[in-house]
Amino acid sequence: MPTALFDTLDRGEMLAAMLASDPAYEGVFFTAVRTTGVFCRPTCPARKPKPENVVFHRSADAALADGFRPCKRCHPLSLRGEAPAWMDTLQQALQRRPDHHWSDADLVALDLDPVRVRRWFKANHGQSFQRWWRAHRLGSALGALSASPRVDAGGFEHGFESVSGFRAAFARQFDTTPGRGRDAIALFFATIVTPLGPMLAAAEARGVVLLEFLDRPALIKELEELRDLHGYLAAPGENAAIAALRPQLEAYFAGQRTHFDVPLHLPGSPFEQSVWKALQDIPPGETRSYGELAAALGQPGAARAVGTANGGNRVAILVPCHRVIGHDGRLTGYGGGLRRKQKLLELEGVGVSNDRVSPQQGLWSQGG
């Protein structure tokens, strides 16, 4: 039986992660406070307890069994980023009126508090509900531009009341005109909640282009590269590839699935694509070093180049760069955080230990 990640962590590391509200430890441990009887996730925004009053648990169930109750600030029984119950009402309304210009009065008519809605969207999407919905409608218009006989017709079909209003909103969202946007590739993105923290999924008609943890330091750079180098214009939304990805990721984290059949589209150089294909050939429960990958590609002297291509992988888990380790067995290089890398390997049946984490790398690194 592989050693569980929680059993490899020392108390000092968990205390440091709690005090820093480190998102890379989401799903790895839970913090319980003896003096209050409450347990929290590592990223809880509440005032930090004194270290001597803290005990750690491997799961929410373990904390409950030990007599602690869930925190009302960070809600440790739900997944971070999980939508509240009232979102069902809002989503159903959006489906009924996909081109409507929603106002606070419309939310009140649905018995929803506009302030609560605004706060949740700001916290989870970085903008108000109305701005998010306008971007969503613009994404739908972008996807339909190539099929419209007139570019301005797309604005009217998606709820914009004037040509000038549509063109101005389009320019703000995509930094280009609808006419130029007609030749761009529509990239839709959505958040997928996982036990290790929320992930951003982005997909076009050919398949998933990006899947990264939202707190990955290189995420903004990756999105800019997709726009500047590969001609994508991105907007919130969902297509068939993202819809297929959600249940498959859920089954993966539940230990019910190890392989994925979601279509992928991976823009990159021929060498990068060969490395990413080699990553997909590593079976679950196994690891490879950079040198072993280079040898498998027939280029035994290209371990450093393989490492660079591995770090350029934009699709976590499905293109499993977490299965690549250093030649000495250390868990070096993972953009989502080394503790997440350990947790993913544990989930796939690979034993982990503290001495496998390279002290030179630290928790965050620029690997795949």
Tell me what pLDDT residue 287 has: 93
Residue 307 and residue 333 in contact, taking contact as beta carbons nearer than 8 Å: yes
* Residues 80-121: tens digit of each pLDDT: 777 778 888 998 888 888 778 889 999 999 999 999 888 888
Residue 333 CA to residue 367 CA, distance in Å, equals 4
* Residues 298-343: tens digit of each pLDDT: 998 888 999 999 999 999 999 999 999 888 888 877 888 888 998 8
6, burial (CB in 10 Å: exposed 0-12, middle 13-18, buried 19+): middle
Residue 324 and residue 279 in contact, taking contact as beta carbons nearer than 8 Å: yes
Out of 44, 71, 74, 321, the active site residue is 321
Nearest one of 278, 139, 155 to 203, comparing CA atoms? 139
**Which of 77-91, 121-135, 215-229, 348-362 has the least mean pLDDT?**
348-362
β-pair type (324-325, 30-33): unpaired
**Which of 183-192, 247-256, 298-307 has the least mean pLDDT?**
183-192
Q: Give percent of the chain with pLDDT exceeding 90.
A: 41
Tell me what pLDDT residue 161 has: 54
Nearest one of 139, 142, 102, 138 to 121, comparing CA atoms? 102
Residue 71 is a catalytic residue? no
Instruction: Between 3 and 95, name the one with better pLDDT.
Output: 95
* Residues 15-48: tens digit of each pLDDT: 999 999 988 888 889 999 999 999 999 999 899 9
- Angle CA 92–95–98, to nearest 5: 140
Nearest one of 152, 320, 344 to 253, comparing CA atoms? 344
**Which of 144-148, 219-223, 347-351 has the least mean pLDDT?**
144-148
3-state secondary structure of 167: helix
Q: Does the pTM of the predicted model rise above 0.85? A: no
Out of 40, 44, 71, 74, the active site residue is 40
Instruction: Between 68 and 161, name the one with better pLDDT.
Output: 68
Residue 321 is a catalytic residue? yes
Residue 49 CA to residue 26 CA, distance in Å, equals 18
Residue 360 and residue 328 in contact, taking contact as beta carbons nearer than 8 Å: no
Nearest one of 350, 284, 341 to 310, comparing CA atoms? 341
3-state secondary structure of 211: strand
Residue 30 and residue 65 in contact, taking contact as beta carbons nearer than 8 Å: no
Residue 166 pLDDT greater than 90, yes or no: no
**Contacts (Cβ under 8 Å, ≥6 apart) of 176:** 170, 184, 233
Residue 167 pLDDT greater than 70, yes or no: no
**Measured in Å, how far apart are the chain's first and last C-alpha atoms?**
27
Residue 250 CA to residue 79 CA, distance in Å, equals 12
Within a 10 A sphere around the Cβ of 15, how many other Cβ atoms? Answer: 15
Domains parsed from the chain with CATH numbers: 5-70 (3.40.10.10), 85-180 (1.10.10.60), 268-356 (1.10.10.10)
| Token duo for residue 68 | 């602690």
Strand stretches in the chain, DSSP E: 30-33, 38-40, 54-57, 69-70, 185-192, 199-204, 207-213, 232-236, 288-289, 324-325
Tell me what pLDDT residue 128 has: 85
Residue 256 CA to residue 347 CA, distance in Å, equals 10
* Residues 264-285: tens digit of each pLDDT: 999 999 999 999 999 999 999 9
